[in-house]
Amino acid sequence: TKLRVALLFGGCSGEHEVSITSAKAIANALSIDPNPSKYEVVPIYIEKNGVWHRGTEAEAVLESGQPLTVTGEVIPSDRIPDPATVKDIDLWFPILHGPNGEDGTVQGMLTLMQVPYVGSGVLGSAVGMDKIAMKMAFSQAGIPQVRYQAVRRSQVWSNPCIFPKLCDDLDAALGYPCFVKPANLGSSVGISKVRSRQELEAALDAAATYDRRIIVEAGVEARELECAVLGNDYPKASVVGEISYNSDFYDYETKYTDGKANLMIPAPIDTAIASKVRDMAIEAFLAVDAAGLARVDFFYIEKTGEVLLNEINTLPGFTALSMYPQLWSATGISFPELVNQLIELALERHTQAA
């Protein structure tokens, strides 16, 4: 009998559309070699308002690639699966990007249900999502990063007398350009590159509309490298890829507009740099207690030869054109085989937990 795999996609996040595209690619991979006789795909769709759908609606979204439009009043129990409709699921494959899915929330529910699922658990997901917690874990592990400072929304908003002092401190500690980011988002949403005191004030205010937690980082001029990690307790790193683009930084528009960013696999860098990146990618994976998969992103400052860790993404973009599967494909693991291995890693982890 086939293993019934629930593909959980969509989600209550700004990266809803990307998730649909990722899910389509994974559903397709589950039905081609070496997988078709092993797995049966059950699409489960989470609407932007958090409402769960299984069956015809979920299949229609997967088929069309179009999100369901939100209608009607929602009650809290619509935002969890109806127990009667998930009795037959053997394994869960969450492919949700950003808050409410990549951050440990869904992973907590699946852990409570004591079912196997692909990817990191609660801790790895939560630490990997929050840029402040992530950087604290990396720094404790001795991994080099840019200089940064954590800021709370309450420092930006509710006490106007401390705001000028806060900006003075950031100004002195980090200089310009610096990057202001909401701590718990992805896809560059809410991120500003800041070149002056005035822009810093505006960017902090903007970031505070997205998150209680904000991070401000010293800006570096660097090449951007990415490395894919696969495994549980003995994770492996892929070849290294590079992203290049013409815009000011790798912002949302550059990420999702066709032709604006260019992926180079493998990255045209020295083997010594590539091997350093791969080692750091595995250290980063272990530092946050990730599992299954993660994409680890770096800044490479060519002038000095420094490699700085930027971030880890525990549920990276997984469309046919995304960096994560492309890096594995260049390393010798095809897309369908990658999906197969992720499912086996989920089963392995579940067996160990029991």
Residue ranges that bind ligand ADP, judged by CB under 6 A = 146, 179, 181, 185-188, 191, 217, 219-220, 224, 249-250, 297, 310-311
Binding partner selected for residue 200 from Mg ion, ligand ADP, none, CB under the kind-specific 5 to 8 Å limit: none
Shortest gap between Cβ of 295 and ligand ADP (angstroms)? Answer: 10
* Helical pair 131-140 and 122-129, crossing angle rounded to 10 deg: 100
Binding partner selected for residue 294 from Mg ion, ligand ADP, none, CB under the kind-specific 5 to 8 Å limit: none
Burial of 302 (0-12, 13-18, 19+ CB in 10 A): exposed
Shortest gap between Cβ of 18 and Mg ion (angstroms)? Answer: 12
Site string for Mg ion, 166-195 (x = CB under 5 A): --------------------x---------
Binding partner selected for residue 224 from ligand ADP, Mg ion, none, CB under the kind-specific 5 to 8 Å limit: ligand ADP
Bridge partners (DSSP) of residue 227 are 240, 296
- In single-letter form, the type of residue at position 103 comes to D
Binding partner selected for residue 191 from Mg ion, ligand ADP, none, CB under the kind-specific 5 to 8 Å limit: ligand ADP
Q: Does 101 bind Mg ion (CB under 5 A)?
A: no
Q: Does 313 bind Mg ion (CB under 5 A)?
A: yes
- Give the E-state strand segments of 11-78 in sequence order: 39-46, 52-54
Closer CB to Mg ion, residue 21 or residue 313?
313
Shortest gap between Cβ of 336 and ligand ADP (angstroms)? Answer: 27
Report how many residues bind Mg ion under the rule CB under 5 A.
Answer: 3
Shortest gap between Cβ of 225 and Mg ion (angstroms)? Answer: 12
Binding partner selected for residue 179 from Mg ion, ligand ADP, none, CB under the kind-specific 5 to 8 Å limit: ligand ADP
Token pair belonging to 259: 């032709």
Closer CB to ligand ADP, residue 100 or residue 232?
100
41/127 Cα distance (integer angstroms): 29
Binding partner selected for residue 146 from ligand ADP, Mg ion, none, CB under the kind-specific 5 to 8 Å limit: ligand ADP
- In our burial notation (b when 16+ CB lie closer than 10 A, e otherwise), range 306-324 reads ebbbbbbbbbbbbbeebbb
Shortest gap between Cβ of 313 and Mg ion (angstroms)? Answer: 5
219/305 Cα distance (integer angstroms): 17
315/83 Cα distance (integer angstroms): 25
Closer CB to Mg ion, residue 103 or residue 311?
311
SS3 73: coil
Shortest gap between Cβ of 127 and Mg ion (angstroms)? Answer: 13
First to last CA, the chain: 23
Sheet containing 91-94: give its strands across.
52-54, 39-46, 3-10, 91-94
Shortest gap between Cβ of 152 and Mg ion (angstroms)? Answer: 21
106/347 Cα distance (integer angstroms): 17
Residues that bind Mg ion (CB under 5 A): 186, 311, 313
